[in-house]
Amino acid sequence: MIITDKFVMINFPKTGTAFTRKILMDLHKNHSTRDKILFKLGLKKQEHFQNLLLPNIRTISERKDFMNEHGICDQIPEDHKSKPIASIKRDVFARYISIYNYEHWKKWPFLDLEIVREKFPKYPELGFEEFVRFLIEFNPLSYLPQINRKIPVGPLTSQYILFYFKNSFQVLKKMDAEYLSEKKYLADRYKVHFLDQANLNKDLYDFLLQMGYEKNRIAYILDAPKTNNSTPKDKGVDDYFSDELKALVLKEESLLFELNAIEN
């Protein structure tokens, strides 16, 4: 996560966080000669910027407890919990495509391969539809010892809950049909200002403007090039998803579609 004087940015994987981290780092580290002189003379306070690495508590793979940049809201340090929280949301179908093409799921299996290959004998060489069914069948978060049960929502929804809900492990462990039908989850979410990955340059610019950053410092963001794009530019959702596969994702991730639609 990124911590500044004015806000905390949660890096939700495969949503454009590499781009946002780079922009924020450049913004807070690349100062003008004038500002550097003012900092040195004590006439201007240097803005706080921290790219905070935290233990990975989201997996039981070999990467468990590795220090990384994808801390969840529950891990925000106490001294910074009163600050506004920002993050990025992305179309659910597009995230499935991005996760598939990034291929991280091939490198760090979270289950014994014998268990996986009983249903998916070709793993890790899976086509896209097989991958989606694999991820839904073996929701990685359901195997965490803090949860250890079949979660009644899809894998991307589970990940959203883990990142943005208070006491998220307990929510995932206890959530049931009543919790979902009565929308009790609305009270458990942290207040987060979401930027939309589909309009990320403009949304990030507008958010920083709202946070008090000067226009002339951030205007370049509007035309800044994207980074780490793992999805082929010449392919769209319909190139990956059949109608049947779309229907499956709509069913399994229905809560995430609803949460993504909520305005800031």
Range of weakest confidence among 52-61, 182-191, 247-256: 52-61
Q: Which of 154, 108, 105, 141 is nearest to 126 (CA)?
A: 105
Give pLDDT tens digits for 47-86.
889 999 999 988 776 677 789 999 999 999 999 999 999 9
CA angle 11, 71, 170 (to 5 degrees): 120
Question: For residue 224, how many other CB atoms are within 10 A of its CB?
Answer: 16
Residue 105 binned pLDDT confidence (cut-offs 50, 70, 90): confident
Give the pair of three-digit tokens for residue 3: 């911590």
Q: What is the mean pLDDT of the chain?
A: 91
Interatomic CA distance for residues 161 and 90, integer angstroms: 15
CA distances from 50 to 28, 45, 71, 77 (A): 10, 15, 13, 12
Domain ranges of the chain: 2-261
pLDDT at 230: 64
Residue 8 binned pLDDT confidence (cut-offs 50, 70, 90): very high
Residues 6+ apart with CB under 8 A from 128: 97, 100, 240
The stretch 9-26 carries a mean pLDDT of: 94
Question: For residue 237, how many other CB atoms are within 10 A of its CB?
Answer: 14
Instruction: Indicate if the pLDDT at residue 34 is higher than 80.
Output: no
Instruction: Indicate if the pLDDT at residue 43 is higher than 70.
Output: no
Instruction: Enter the pTM of the model.
Output: 0.91
Q: What single letter denotes the amino acid at residue 13?
A: P
The CATH number of domain 2-261, selected from 3.40.50, 1.10.287, 3.10.590, 1.20.1260: 3.40.50
Half-sphere exposure of 72 (CA within 13 A, CB side): 19
Q: Please, which residues bridge with residue 9 across strands?
A: 2, 86
The stretch 103-131 carries a mean pLDDT of: 89
Instruction: Indicate if the pLDDT at residue 163 is higher than 80.
Output: yes
Instruction: Indicate if the pLDDT at residue 190 is higher than 70.
Output: yes
pLDDT at 228: 64
Specify the DSSP class assigned to residue 89.
Answer: E
Q: Which of 176, 171, 160, 167 is nearest to 262 (CA)?
A: 160
pLDDT at 263: 78
Instruction: Indicate if the pLDDT at residue 22 is higher than 80.
Output: yes
Give the pair of three-digit tokens for residue 86: 């920002």
Instruction: Indicate if the pLDDT at residue 154 is higher than 90.
Output: yes
Instruction: Indicate if the pLDDT at residue 9 is higher than 90.
Output: yes
